[in-house]
């Protein structure tokens, strides 16, 4: 599962995870909770990634000045997204197909937060330790990604 955040033309916020389940066996619920405070990526109602708004404290772009877009797809990123391009797509399993159902979009009122419980924080930590295979914070100098030096919670 590859996640990224773009704001005002800037990306470099990728995090990638080995899935801890076979996504072809059954449907899973993928959610993005996006408000003025943070973006939370979730799988089956469990948070796996938090990206906080650092517009004011670090002067970093955050998607507050443009319409929201969420992309979900299957695409060939094996030249860069799979452990730096070291793992190639096995085309003998093609065609690769994705099915989506029950797309829901819920508007959040300004000021409405999505608080994280200690259980949520522990789950995110477990996913990062056991399933994360790429973290942009480890790939760039801290001057380029200053938010990586700020505690998430």
Q: Which two tokens stand for residue 110?
A: 């300004």
Q: Where are the beta strands (DSSP E) in the chain?
A: 2-3, 15-17, 30-34, 38-43, 46-52, 132-135
Q: How many separate domains does the chain show?
A: 1
CATH number, domain of 86, equals: 2.60.120.200
Q: Write the CA distances from 136 to 8, 66, 67, 99, 141, integer angstroms.
A: 18, 23, 24, 28, 10
Give the pLDDT of residue 30: 92
Print the domain residue range for 123: 2-149
Would you give per-residue pLDDT tens digits along the chain (153 residues)?
999 999 988 888 999 999 999 988 999 999 998 888 899 999 999 999 999 999 999 999 999 887 778 888 887 877 776 767 788 888 998 888 888 888 887 777 766 677 899 999 999 999 999 999 999 999 988 888 999 999 998
Give the pLDDT of residue 81: 67
The SS3 of residue 93 is helix
């Amino acid at each position: 599962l590859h996640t990224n955040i773009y704001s005002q033309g800037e990306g470099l916020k990728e995090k990638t995870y080995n899935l801890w389940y076979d996504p072809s066996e059954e449907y899973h619920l993928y959610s993005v909770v996006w408000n003025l405070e943070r973006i939370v990526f979730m799988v089956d109602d469990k948070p796996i990634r938090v990206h906080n708004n650092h517009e004011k404290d670090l002067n970093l772009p955050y998607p507050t000045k443009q319409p929201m877009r969420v992309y979900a797809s299957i695409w060939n990123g094996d030249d860069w997204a799979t452990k730096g391009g070291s793992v190639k797509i096995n085309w003998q399993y093609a065609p690769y197909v994705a099915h989506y159902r029950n797309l829901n979009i819920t508007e959040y009122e300004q000021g409405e937060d999505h608080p994280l419980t200690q259980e949520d924080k522990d789950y995110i930590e477990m996913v990062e330790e056991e399933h994360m295979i790429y973290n942009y914070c480890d790939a760039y100098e801290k001057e380029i990604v200053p938010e990586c030096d700020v505690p998430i919670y």
